[in-house]
Structure formats: structure tokens, C-alpha cells
């Protein structure tokens, strides 16, 4: 059970947009619309930002959006702000062994 | 509102058994489709799912760790307990419990750092 693949780092200037990819297989991302994304600031617990591929919980700015194509899910952060600098983790359900799988995490730097 | 809090030892010796308790409020594990899960994160590393328990006592475990894990619940106390046997230094991590509904871990505890060292 390998982790979902995320780039280790991403960056963008304030006001710009950045995308973070999360690649899995047809047994997880490609097979189910159960992808979620979490934001984690240093020393803090993960915070849900996107669920069900592209749904935002109440209180999450609409600058955050999610999508999926095939076995790859993508998180897009538009209009980057300083407080968006954090680690971002993707997560999916995997039907092959009925388990939960996370990505390796991506550190987003706001320049 | 939904809250969860992890508790347990901060230091365990190699080969010992770790017991962690998640105490929650704001929801009932008896509600259909609701579960509580455990996820850990070694320092500077990725999140790793460990185990999940539903109100009907259905349980799921991470396949690589299944032989070492046991998850139980005490609905009357609003608690979920995770035990992990034969602890090793590589098990040093922050351990989180989280509320899960509709295939989403939506609320997380603050986490508890467990160090495995002699």
C-alpha cells in the first residue's frame, strides 16, 4: 500500500494561483470520488479544506478548489495569501484493501 | 460542536504496548455512518492511517499494521481506545484521532506526540 504521490514542494507569489497534484491508482483516486485535502500549519492538526473531490466545508475560502481527472486529483489555491503557507495532504479511500490512504504531503511556500 | 482529544503516554520503551485514548464530544458513535479513526505522523513525515471503528463495532485496520493494532470503543464514556503492540523507535509520531462521516475525516484532535526510546 504505497502512499499517494504528491510533489514535495510548491510555491507561488502572493495573489497568484498554484496547483498541487495527488496521483494514485484506479483502486483509490480513480475509482472513487472520496478525495479530500488537508491544510496543516507547523505544530497544528490537519484542517479539512476540500472533500468529495471538489466540495468545500463551511468557512473555507472559495480560493481553494479541487478537481480530479483519472487517477490524479488536484488542489488549486487562487489569490495566494501569506496564511496559505502550510503543508497540504491529500487523502483517498482505497477499495483494493478497504483502507484509507494519504499522500506524502506538499509544502506550499508563498513568496 | 465536535471536539476530540487524544491522551496517553508521551514516552514508551521499545517492545512495550502503547495505549491511546480518544475522548470526544459533540457527536454520537451510535449515529449511522459515523466513525472514529486514528492517524499518525512521524516528525517531518506524511500522515498514515492506522485504524477505524464504527458505532456498530465494525472495525478496519491498516493492512501493514493490522497484527499490532486493536481499536475498541466505550460509547457510554464517548471514548475510543487504540492499542499498538511491540513498539519500535520508528513508531515515534504524533498520533491523531479524527471523526469520520460520509467518507471524510472532518474533525481532528490536537494530536499527542509519542516517543519510543529506551
Average pLDDT over residues A79-103: 94
pLDDT in the model for residue A54: 97
How much is the pLDDT for A1? 62
Instruction: Give the per-residue pLDDT at B30.
Output: 87
Chain B, nearest residue to A103 by Cα: B46
In total, chain A counts a number of residues equal to 111
pLDDT of residue A45: 97
Which tens digits make up the pLDDT trace of B86-105? 999 999 999 999 999 989 99
Which residues from chain B sit within 8 angstroms of residue A99, using beta carbons? 49, 60-63
User: How many Cα neighbours within 13 Å face the side chain of B28?
Assistant: 5
Chain A CB contacts of B60 below 8 Å: 98-99
Per-residue pLDDT reduced to its tens digit, A50-61: 999 999 999 999
Distances (CA, A) of B23 to B2, B36, B73, B77: 11, 10, 10, 8
Confidence band of A71 (pLDDT split at 50, 70, 90): very high
Residues of A with CB under 8 A from a CB of B: 1, 3, 32, 34, 36, 38, 45-48, 51-52, 57, 89, 91, 93, 97-105
pLDDT of A72 > 80? The answer is yes
Question: How many H-runs (helices) and E-runs (strands) does chain B carry?
Answer: 0, 11
How many angstroms away from the CA of A26 is the closest CA of chain B? 17
Interface test with B, best of A35, A49, A99, A101 (most B CBs within 10 A): A99
Q: What is the pLDDT of residue A96?
A: 82
**What stretches in chain B show pLDDT beneath 70?**
none
Arithmetic mean of pLDDT over chain A = 96
Min Cα distance A36 → chain B (Å) is 7
Which residue in B39, B46, B63 is closest to A1 by CB distance?
Answer: B63
What's the mean pLDDT in A91-101?
A: 90
Residue A2 has pLDDT above 90, yes or no: no
DSSP 8-state code for residue A14? T
Q: Cα dist. B7→A30, A41, A52, B79, B109 in Å?
A: 36, 21, 30, 11, 10
Amino acid at each position: 500500500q504505497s502512499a499517494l504521490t504528491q510533489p514535495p514542494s510548491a510555491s507561488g507569489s502572493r495573489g497568484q494561483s498554484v496547483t498541487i497534484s495527488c496521483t494514485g491508482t484506479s483502486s483509490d483516486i480513480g475509482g472513487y470520488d472520496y478525495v479530500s485535502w488537508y491544510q496543516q500549519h507547523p505544530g497544528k492538526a490537519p484542517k479539512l479544506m476540500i472533500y468529495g473531490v471538489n466540495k468545500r466545508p463551511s468557512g473555507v475560502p472559495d480560493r481553494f478548489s479541487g478537481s480530479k481527472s483519472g487517477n490524479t486529483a488536484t488542489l488549486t489555491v487562487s489569490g495566494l495569501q501569506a496564511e496559505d503557507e502550510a503543508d497540504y495532504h491529500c487523502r483517498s479511500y482505497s477499495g483494493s484493501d478497504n483502507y484509507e490512504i494519504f499522500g506524502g504531503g506538499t509544502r506550499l511556500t508563498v513568496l | 460542536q465536535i471536539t476530540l482529544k487524544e491522551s496517553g503516554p508521551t514516552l514508551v520503551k521499545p517492545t512495550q504496548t502503547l495505549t491511546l485514548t480518544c475522548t470526544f464530544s459533540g457527536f454520537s458513535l451510535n449515529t449511522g455512518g459515523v466513525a472514529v479513526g486514528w492517524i499518525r505522523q512521524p516528525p517531518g513525515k506524511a500522515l498514515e492511517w492506522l485504524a477505524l471503528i464504527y458505532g456498530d463495532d465494525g472495525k478496519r485496520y491498516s493492512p501493514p499494521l493490522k497484527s499490532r493494532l486493536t481499536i475498541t470503543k466505550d460509547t457510554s464514556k464517548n471514548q475510543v481506545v487504540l492499542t499498538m503492540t511491540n513498539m519500535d523507535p520508528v513508531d515515534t509520531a504524533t498520533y491523531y484521532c479524527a471523526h469520520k462521516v460520509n467518507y471524510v475525516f472532518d474533525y481532528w484532535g490536537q494530536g499527542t506526540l509519542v516517543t519510543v526510546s529506551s
